[in-house]
Structure 1
Amino acid sequence: MSMDINEVPSVDPKEEPHAAPPRGNLRKYDPLDMESASFSTHHGQAAKATDWMTILQLAFQSIGVVYGDIGTSPLYVYSSTFTDGIKHKDDILGVLSLILYTITLLPLIKYVFIVLRANDNGDGGTFALYSLICRYAKVGMLPSQQAEDAEVSNYQLDLPNNRFRRASRVKSTLENSKFAKYLLLFITLLGTSMVIGDGVLTPCISVLSAVGGITQATSAMTEGRVVWVSVGILICLFVVQRFGTDKVGYSFAPIITIWFLFIGGIGIFNFVNYDPSVAKAFNPKYIIDYFRRNKKDAWISLGGIVLAITGTEAMFADLGHFNVRSIQISMCTVTFPSIILAYMGQASYLRTHMEDVGETFYKSIPGPLYWPMFVVAVMAAIIASQAMISGTFAIIQQSLSLGCFPLVKIVHTSPKHEGQVYIPEINYLLMLACVAVTVGFRTTQKIGNAYGIAVVFVMTLTSALLVLIMILIWKTHIALIIGYVIIFCSVELLYLSSVLYKFVDGGYLPLAFAAILMVVMYVWNYVYRKKYTYELDNKVSPHKLKEIADNLNFHRIPGIALFYSELVQGIPPIFKHYVANVPSLHSVLVFVSIKSLPISKVPQDERFLFCRVEPRELAVFRCVVRYGYKDFHERDSFQEILVDRLKEFIREEQWISPPTISSNGDVNGNAMDNGEVTNEEEEIRRKEIVGREIELVETEYNAGVVHLLGENEVVASQGSNIGKRILIDYAFNFLRRNLRQRDEVFDIPHKRLLKVGMTYEL
């Protein structure tokens, strides 16, 4: 069951408080179907302006993390483009013109000045775009959506007004089309898979290209030795990832800065020393002449030219590690000028040395600078991998919030910048994949064929999602949207058609990666939704709870029990299984649902939603703890914070649903008999009741907290088809057994942990 996240349940006038609550926006909902008492305040917390010193520090760090990939592209672009040599001298000008306009159009204009604006509260990537669309239109596939989600400060978006009928029509079409919802999810999963594929291919091609340069200095360095040296470097790179982006960024930034100064300086030297007339390439007529001369070969060569913009998606995927302004500053002041000068310098050298096109980069380096440049090139190539590795971590963290990825442990590596994370399992899987690709392909040409497909696919999918955001959220003028599609999307589709031509020559690799990852993400998401629907359909009824309360053989034991469940709209069926086998209940029981919202952060005072489970004498509560995909999960202090918020809820609850008191002082849920108790006496007794409940919570907290974790085995129901049986019984359960368990992800203390098992037939 999916709730309308844009509608807020109405308040029964009879249940309005007798006096204004002291804080928060408090309302009463059905306590078994939705959260009844959000006592959080809604300050509309705006992001604080980051001071310029911090922005400049982040800009410096971003040079070491974000731009290593695009910065090392000059190592192999010309050799990948002119695979059969240069046939006409002016072809160099045509290719240079294509490189200049491609870098200006896509990385600079599209990503730095347009796509970065489509961030999700400071976070970027394919899932950031998808989460924005899901929050605006009801197209998300998660069954755990609640009306209260829309009240989180960071969740809110401007709703369309009557002037923007186009946005409303598109929104209605998306919400009413099951195909459109699945298509959006498919695009998102495919884009995510391609970014992860980038994270595998970037280290391979960058390190191989740089290390291969030593063959210019000595013939003793064979191809096999280059491959194994590259493998050793890659292993070292992934080992240091556990130190975090913050430390890695500060270590790498000076090296990449030196790299940009070197390639820019050498570019100026070559430009002045060989052929300054390459500046004519700014005239786009040379692109037309290039296609007229070479026709199909020119179209095929686009697969090499597109490598000049590798790593562009990292600027967006890594946005959560930095911020928009810092990336814009570093791109415009350092990265863009340096790589433009590098390509112009190489083109100038090639105009007089066309035979050196296979080793353009190293051949164009002045003799005295060869060894210093080789050392810096190897170090820069190592660092180039960091961009997509960091981006992969960030985008997997986002996918977890949408239930689209198996449980993995997210390690926050920086106390200053909350978006910087490290995922151990993914790090070592990437390392194994990189080693396998490097050993298997051995040459940059084959890896380049695969790399181009991954790069252009992600760009094209990003454009598709961005057009939807322009229509639905930004409400951009239709002329600007058409202009964006004509200018950017047509260019990307042209490049995509070229790279797909090399499918059989290695281009299949990223698509194979994507297929495997999409199967994993789809299996996890499918079973997650099925399991949640089962729990929702079989949740504990109020009648069953009343039976438990009236059962004289049922014992209460000291302490507080936190019963973890994914269900946020009721009490899970596993609770019936528990009480049937253990006829005792802790004095205070809280059903806790750890829920990830499709937003980057949830403000601390809006994180906990409580409601009381009737009958009141059971002292049973439900709590939904909401996190964004960039939020840090409290470990040691979690139960302490939860209990403090529970006590605060009990205090505030009297303003929402005050306990009614009869003339003899008993608490009940019926209306008070008129005239039996004065308002002043009622207020005093109400405070006494609240005081006793808070005292009970404090006493039981001191007695100890036990964590009860529902461990659900899932199997396909009898009569299921063979496809469903394979998907649930084998694929899902294989993933669940071989990845982290929920108690490991949430860091629940094992000494206070009790697992309750139950099998669900889906």
Structure 2
Amino acid sequence: MGEMESDEVIVEDSVDEKQEGVSQQELVGKKLSWNRLRRYDSLDIESRRIPGHRGHGYKGDDWSVILQLAFQSIGIVYGDIGTSPLYVYASTFTKGIEHEDDVLGVLSLIFYTLTLIPLVKYVLIVLRANDNGDGGTFALYSLICRYAKVGLTPSEQAEDREVSNFKLELPNERLKRASKIKSKLEKSRFAKYFLLFATMLGTSMVIGDGVLTPCISVLSAVGGIKQATSDMTQDMIVWISVGILVCLFMVQRFGTDKVGYSFAPIICVWFALIGGIGIYNFIKFDPTVVKAINPKYIVDYFRRNKKDAWISLGGVVMAITGTEALFADVGHFTVKSIQISMCCVTYPALILAYTGQASWLREHRLMVADTFYESIPKPLYWPMFGVAVAASIIASQAMISGTFSIIQQSLSLGCFPRVKITHTSTKYEGQVYVPEANYFLMLACIGVTLGFRSTTKIGNAYGIAVVFVMTLTSSFLVLIMVMIWKTNLLLVIAYVAIIGSVELIYLSSVLYKFDQGGYLPLAFALALMTIMFVWNDVYRRKYYYELEHKISPEKVKEIANDSRFCTVPGLAMFYSELVQGIPPIFKHYVSNIPALHSVLVLVSIKSLPISKVSVEERFLFRRVEPRELNIFRCVARYGYTDVRNEEEPFERILVEKLKEFIKDDFYLANVIMHHQNGGEPVEKDGEFSDNEEAKQLAAEEQKLNEALEREIKAVDNAWEAGVVHLVGENEVIASKGAGMGKRILINYAFNFLKKNLRQSDKVFDIPRKRLLKVGMTYEL
């Protein structure tokens, strides 16, 4: 098929199984051979594309926009990592400082950890693995799914690979190694399940991180008031923290855009204050701590403290909590904006803060439990307390926003129950709000805060969630380096040896405190993975059932020839998830209601493993024979960050694209007619020869044009008569003779989730007055 202009939809028809479609623009004024018209007519195997589109992660190279987003990102992304100085030294030296050089050893650890993980790994490497501007565990998984066929639902189509955002820029070197790994992944069912489970685990851990971040940040900040007054009890601190958390989650509905602009100035003031106080303490107390840049002090620290030094790594890792938000939240901003804000503001301020606290600790070793507030100059105590509380509230925003993003991604890929996704910004793409997730996070945060009551146990849990996600990200990244980027093997080995080994050492340390609160994120992950597995497993079973029981073309012809059927004015949209045919629920519908609307469009909602699909590339059409039924199949393709209840008028756009399809369908029929009648009329002296064949062709062409006008008018009349949305509501039960495990999975677990979550019409934002649900029971 020739390339079409960027404002044209892809169209196919059912004229001949071995004819290739051509666009009007390509055919006009050209002599075409019949071989150029040959094509394979199947939604399963044709491959088409629309040129001229930028990747949809693209948000422009306008530096004013980039700098605005960089400013916003300070308020959204860095609140968590930025408030770590509140508790890092206290969490590291839980038993006090035994040797004065231990401070230098820990400062050196903090310096190299901050440099290697947030700066080198995430800002310079991981952000490059974004999926058209979106990040997170599912973004990495989607890249792998696009390169290798590792998806477990058989809904792939060849034409998907020609969508603009689907393409991967692949270098030509080191193909042999990449191809071998790709082949092994595609052939191994275990590898496919392992990748899916690893993705679910990473997603669950990030959500768990979104629960723990608000708890530890707010408790740490509010606890500082004890330094000013002895009247403040721990109970009062806990309840004040709970009140602050409730307020924080209540403002999420206003969206990342407004929240970011509100929070960014406060975090900027926070970074300026901790950096300035760091410089003050560095100059006043002990400027010699600068020698901690020598990693020898790390070696000496471990020699002196041995096992205690290894255990203390669980405190040091708190310095990089929230780093995953750099990647998870990149879809709310851009790669450049995150890189600018990190390198120019966050990283320098944190290094100065930790260096200043180390200088102060060299002379106040016995006060390590209250390092942050005690190291503040007295005149700045109350202003700093107010900013610290505000910054700790904002710290929670980073992982909350990241949680919304990854829930949206997992929902689109069939790995999460239906929840409502709301776009909160018309100015910036990717900024979303998930009401159900917001209330779940709020209740979980309140429960953790009231249950643990102190930052010590929460810190143990927090460390496991943070390092686990980082390790999973590194694992996926290595696979992408080898298989997709085809990075030099020596560089991959260097990455694993340096960054991978650092993360594994930290992971071993935080797992040591499993029984001291570390079990909490794993419990969260287990619960969430159970929900995700149940939903995904039954989702796939339903798809296979529909695939095996889809309606044959012969059955459609029987319906057309049945004298009982009558035609009802109007246009009906029949929704299903089956891509490769007509779902069995349609047969159930026509068996009970012997009437069809004058125009019927069988709409298949399909999610691609890419972030966004443009409206121009969204729809694929087919005509269902016989033509007089006016039944069409349509595949509506979405990316995992596209929101289906968006403000764009879905009905109107679909009808417009349908009419474009019909026009191209008739034009193709005209070209085929010319071929079957011996080719185009012969041109002679600038005029066509006046013969009977030419007259006959002209008459046939006139008939086709009249038929085209009638069909377009039929669609317009159906549109004016009204649109009805037919939604298949499938009840699923385990088949007779199924085992106990299968019955529990389908009859109880899945159906419990389905009954307590949103229905399809609410997710797709279908008007209730024009909605008709069609029920059918599937025995899986």
TM-score (norm 1): 0.94
Structure 1: distance between partners of 2:739 and 2:18: 51
Counterpart in the other structure of 2:662: 650
After superposition, the Cα gap between the structure-2 partners of 1:54 and 1:676, relative to the gap in structure 1 and judged at 3 Å, is closer
After superposition, the Cα gap between the structure-2 partners of 1:83 and 1:134, relative to the gap in structure 1 and judged at 3 Å, is same
Are the aligned partners of 1:28 and 1:37 in contact in 2 as well (CA < 8 Å)? no
Q: Matched residue of 2:94: which SS?
A: coil
Q: What residue identity is the alignment partner of 1:645? A: K
Counterpart in the other structure of 1:665: none
Does 1:553 pair with 2:564?
yes
Deviates most, 141-150 or 20-29? 20-29
Counterpart in the other structure of 2:267: 256
Structure 2: distance between partners of 1:20 and 1:323: 38
Match of residue 594, structure 2, among 551, 567, 583: 583
Q: 1:144 offset after TM fit, Å? A: 1.7
Q: 1:632 offset after TM fit, Å? A: 3.8
After superposition, the Cα gap between the structure-2 partners of 1:660 and 1:136, relative to the gap in structure 1 and judged at 3 Å, is closer
Does 1:711 pair with 2:721?
no
Are the aligned partners of 2:18 and 2:38 in contact in 1 as well (CA < 8 Å)? no
Q: What is the number of residues matched between the two proteins? A: 742
Counterpart in the other structure of 1:4: none
Counterpart in the other structure of 1:526: 537
Deviates most, 653-662 or 330-339? 653-662
Counterpart in the other structure of 1:96: 107
Q: What residue identity is the alignment partner of 2:770? A: R
Structure 1: distance between partners of 2:520 and 2:253: 27
Counterpart in the other structure of 1:15: 19
Counterpart in the other structure of 1:760: 778
After superposition, the Cα gap between the structure-2 partners of 1:123 and 1:37, relative to the gap in structure 1 and judged at 3 Å, is closer
After superposition, the Cα gap between the structure-2 partners of 1:542 and 1:659, relative to the gap in structure 1 and judged at 3 Å, is farther
After superposition, the Cα gap between the structure-2 partners of 1:124 and 1:295, relative to the gap in structure 1 and judged at 3 Å, is same
Match of residue 212, structure 1, among 223, 226, 250: 223
Are the aligned partners of 1:27 and 1:656 in contact in 2 as well (CA < 8 Å)? no
Q: 1:684 offset after TM fit, Å? A: 1.9
After superposition, the Cα gap between the structure-2 partners of 1:333 and 1:759, relative to the gap in structure 1 and judged at 3 Å, is same
After superposition, the Cα gap between the structure-2 partners of 1:122 and 1:691, relative to the gap in structure 1 and judged at 3 Å, is same
Q: 1:543 offset after TM fit, Å? A: 1.1
Match of residue 366, structure 2, among 355, 359, 363: 355
Q: 1:22 offset after TM fit, Å? A: 4.9
Structure 1: distance between partners of 2:213 and 2:273: 21
Structure 1: runs of 5 or more not aligned: 1-7, 663-673
Q: 1:593 offset after TM fit, Å? A: 1.3
Q: 1:402 offset after TM fit, Å? A: 1.1
| Amino-acid identity (%) | 70
Structure 2: distance between partners of 1:727 and 1:652: 47
Q: Matched residue of 2:778: which SS?
A: strand
Q: Matched residue of 2:73: which SS?
A: helix
Counterpart in the other structure of 1:692: 710
Counterpart in the other structure of 1:3: none
Q: RMSD value over aligned CA atoms?
A: 2.2
Q: What residue identity is the alignment partner of 2:633? A: R
Aligned residue runs from structure 1 range 48-63, under 5 A:
49-63=60-74
Q: What residue identity is the alignment partner of 1:718? A: K
Are the aligned partners of 1:712 and 1:758 in contact in 2 as well (CA < 8 Å)? yes
Aligned residue runs from structure 1 range 94-493, under 5 A:
94-158=105-169, 161=172, 163-493=174-504
Does 1:85 pair with 2:89?
no
Q: 1:282 offset after TM fit, Å? A: 0.4
Are the aligned partners of 2:173 and 2:486 in contact in 1 as well (CA < 8 Å)? no
Counterpart in the other structure of 1:637: 649
Structure 2: distance between partners of 1:268 and 1:581: 78
CA displacement 1:176-234 (0-9 Å, x = unmatched):
11111111111111110110011000000000000000000111110010000000000
Q: What residue identity is the alignment partner of 1:376? A: V
Structure 1: distance between partners of 2:548 and 2:332: 40
Structure 1: distance between partners of 2:617 and 2:23: 23
Q: What residue identity is the alignment partner of 1:649? A: F
Q: 1:163 offset after TM fit, Å? A: 4.7
Are the aligned partners of 1:37 and 1:611 in contact in 2 as well (CA < 8 Å)? no
Structure 2: distance between partners of 1:737 and 1:18: 47
Q: 1:676 offset after TM fit, Å? A: 11
Are the aligned partners of 1:131 and 1:598 in contact in 2 as well (CA < 8 Å)? yes
After superposition, the Cα gap between the structure-2 partners of 1:677 and 1:585, relative to the gap in structure 1 and judged at 3 Å, is farther
CA displacement 1:356-401 (0-9 Å, x = unmatched):
0000000000001000000000000000000000000011111112
Structure 1: distance between partners of 2:16 and 2:648: 40
Structure 1: distance between partners of 2:17 and 2:226: 82
Structure 2: distance between partners of 1:18 and 1:591: 24
Structure 2: distance between partners of 1:593 and 1:300: 53
Q: 1:170 offset after TM fit, Å? A: 0.7
Are the aligned partners of 2:47 and 2:162 in contact in 1 as well (CA < 8 Å)? no
Does 1:45 pair with 2:93?
no
Structure 2: distance between partners of 1:48 and 1:216: 46
Counterpart in the other structure of 1:502: 513
Are the aligned partners of 2:19 and 2:40 in contact in 1 as well (CA < 8 Å)? no
TM-score (norm 2): 0.92
Counterpart in the other structure of 1:741: 759
Does 1:34 pair with 2:38?
no
Are the aligned partners of 1:35 and 1:609 in contact in 2 as well (CA < 8 Å)? no
Does 1:616 pair with 2:627?
yes
CA displacement 1:113-165 (0-9 Å, x = unmatched):
00000000000000000000000011112222211111101001245757521
Q: What residue identity is the alignment partner of 1:34? A: D
